[in-house]
Amino acid sequence: MILAANLLAPNLGLFVWMLVTFLLLMAVLKRFAWGPITEALDSREKNIQDSMDQARLALEEAKAIQADNTTARRESEASAQALLRAAREDAEKIRGAEVTKTREQIQSLQEQARQEIEREKVSALEALRHEVADLAIDAAEKILHENLDADKQRKIVHDFLGTLSQN
C-alpha cells in the first residue's frame, strides 16, 4: 500500500523533463516562427515607408517645377495629397492584414503547443497507470499467493485498477 502511494506522488523528475521539453519547444518556435514573421513585418513596413517617402518627394518636385503657375500648383498639390492619403490608407490596410495574419499564426502555434503538451501529459499518466498496475499485481500476488485463490486475486486486482482510473 505504501509502495502504491509513493508511485502516485508528484514526481519532480517528470516535472523537470516536461518543463525542459516545453522550453525547447518555445525556443524552436521563437527561432523558426516568430523571427521570420517579425522580419517579414519589418520588411513590409520599410517598403511602405519608402513608398510614402517617394510620394513626398514627388509632391515637393511638383511644387518646385510649377512654382510660378498657382493654379497648376494647387492642382498638383491636391493630386499629391490624394496620392499620399491613398498610400497611407493602403499602408494601413496592408499593415492591418499583416498584423491579423501574424496574430492568427501565433494563436495557431500556441494551440499546437497546448495540444502537444496535453498529449504528452495523457501519455505519461497512462504509462504511470500501467506501471502502477503491474507493480500492484506483482505485490498482491506475492503477498496473497498462498492466502487467496485465483478468483479472489482477480477481484482484488480489478477493484484496485478501478480506483486507479478514478484518480
Cell of 144: 496473497
Mean pLDDT of 71-80: 78
81 versus 11: which is more confidently predicted?
81
| Domain housing 92 | 2-166
Helices (H), 31-69: 35-65
Based on the structure, what is the number of domains in the chain? 1
Mean pLDDT of 49-73: 82
Q: Are 64 and 82 in contact (CB under 8 A)?
A: no
pLDDT reading at 164 higher than 90? no
- The pLDDT tens digits of the residues spanning 99-150 come to 999 999 999 999 999 999 999 999 998 988 888 778 777 776 766 665 666 7
pLDDT reading at 166 higher than 80? no
